[in-house]
Structure 1
Amino acid sequence: MTEMEVTEHFAGIALPGHLHTQESLHAAAAFQFRAGDVVVATYPKSGTTWMQEILTLMYSKGDGQLAKTVPNWARAPWLEHIYFKDMMQAGREPRIITTHLPCHVLAPALKKAKAKVIYVARNPKDIVVSFYHFHKMAKFLPEPSSFEDFLMQFLNGTGGLRLHWPLV
């Protein structure tokens, strides 16, 4: 079995094994945030990349050079991914950190710090359509059998499609 076929389960959600390990997920849950950190917290397919781009432009005073030359996963690394420690560049402030981890996992660590949290919400109908097509395209996610089945899994919170952030 390859890493692409592995699924890691953590805090009631399923995550792709090629990007997550139990070690990286536990490290994320215990991460020590700083007062200057900016955390982008989203449910998948809710506008994460847009927010990463907006913050990059804000903190570079509108200069698009950083956004054009450095991938978004390096500018705003994913807290729960296996490469997170390597992506956190020393000296870069504020640290922009991205996550799909559920709020009950991050709340204890965030309460200890004064990090800013930006929660991006999107209409659940739009999320499920986008997430379905993303599952069809992404080889590291399970192939959905039909939209109807995918929708039922999404609504029931099964198949790794649990709504782990409140949808406002």
Structure 2
Amino acid sequence: DLTSVETVPNWDRAPWLEETRAALVLQKLPSPRAIVSHMHYHLMPSSFFKSKAKVQKTAELSYLHVVITLY
């Protein structure tokens, strides 16, 4: 179902972390949430490194590795 992709702006589906209204948008989104940032890795807040958030690229590469290994 692509309804939300066609009707909800991308900045509301995956808000930018450095945007001032990001906290308000993120509180309304159901879990799991996607967050986008233009900040360099070493500029991220310390709480970012303590969370169990997953980097999508890493998750996709892990999945690809499993698929290639099993098949």
| TM-score (ref. length: structure 2) | 0.67
Larger radius of gyration: 1
What does residue 12 of structure 2 align with? 74
SS of corresponding position for 2:35: strand
Structure 1 unaligned runs (5+)? Answer: 1-62, 120-168
**Closer, same or farther in 2 for the Cα pair 1:91/1:83, shift >3 Å?**
closer
Q: Work out the number of aligned pairs and report it.
A: 57
Deviation readout 1:72-96 (Å, 9 max, x if unpaired): 0000001101111221143511111
**Closer, same or farther in 2 for the Cα pair 1:93/1:107, shift >3 Å?**
same
CA distance in 2, matches of 1:110, 1:98: 13
**Closer, same or farther in 2 for the Cα pair 1:100/1:86, shift >3 Å?**
same
Cα RMSD for the two superposed structures: 1.8
More strand by share: 1
CA distance in 2, matches of 1:86, 1:98: 15
**Closer, same or farther in 2 for the Cα pair 1:65/1:76, shift >3 Å?**
same
Q: Which gives a bigger RCO, structure 1 or 2 (Cα 8 Å, sep 6+)?
A: 1
More helix by share: 2
